[in-house]
Amino acid sequence: MRDLGGHPTRCGRHVKYNRLFRSGSLSHLDENDWQIMRTLNISVICDFRAETEQSNEPTCIPPELAIKKIALSIAPGNRQNLMQQGLSAKKSGGGEQIMHAINESLATEFTPSYRDFMRCIQQLQNQQALLFHCTVGKDRTGFAAAILLACLNVERETIEAEYALTQHYFDPHMQLEGLTQKYAALNLGEMEMKNLIPVFDTRPSYIAAALDKIDQHWGGMDAYIHEGLNINKASLNTLRNEFLDAY
């Protein structure tokens, strides 16, 4: 889990700490972990995992915690699809190109889910915090973090650097090793393993592809925020005053 707080904005303000968190799957959390969620005042969890991911590895929030779970299902980027696409990488032009295409699709095909995500954030009150996640916590979640920071007036360079931070917490080789054990029947060879590495990596070019797609498809981030996410100027100012520190 990672706090988005502390990032500087173009106007000299900073994103507030302890309000906006990103993560990977929460299905493994124990009682102590959920108590930490309580202390962080997390009131909403947005889950970008596909429906099959959510049913196979459910997030079991203790009933005594007043945390609302919002399902915002997005299929591209789930582990099983990544495995399948990575194994076909040689024929389709390489794992890196596949990841560029996935991230580009997040900017065009799944705008309603990200619009609902931003609406959840706008509805937070009384210093409530929100956590958003997918399974791995890098692509679907990474794009959500990118557009959220963009709404908060954070520079693109900082947004891309935040995305790349996942490299420090997520080793694609270790992730792949675990998955090859889980899918042992595939009997993956050295070439297949090599092709899979890019799809489990967190390369800055992936989020750059998504941001470039926003420019191409929407005519820029401002247009995406207004037309795609349906956030007008007044609402944007309210959002910034809520989640940025004072001047």
CA pair distance 97, 68, nearest whole angstrom: 36
The pLDDT value given to residue 198: 81
The per-residue pLDDT for 78 is 47
| Cα–Cα distance for residue pair 157/130, rounded to 1 Å | 24
Which tens digits make up the pLDDT trace of 206-237? 999 999 999 999 999 999 999 999 999 999 99
Closest to 45 (Cα-Cα) out of 53, 37, 56: 37
Structure tokens at 230: 């349906």
Encoded amino acid at 71, one letter = A
Would the pLDDT of 242 be above 60?
Answer: yes
Tokens 């124990």 sit at which residue?
Answer: 30
Beta-bridged to residue 47, according to DSSP, are 71, 133
Parallel, antiparallel or unpaired: strands 20-23 and 2-3: antiparallel
Q: Work out the burial of residue 164: count CB atoms within 10 Å of its CB; fewer than 13 is exposed, 13-18 middle, 19 or more buried.
A: middle
Q: How confident is the model at residue 95 (pLDDT cuts 50, 70, 90)?
A: confident
* Residue 90 backbone zone (phi > 0: left; psi -120 to 50: alpha; other: beta): alpha
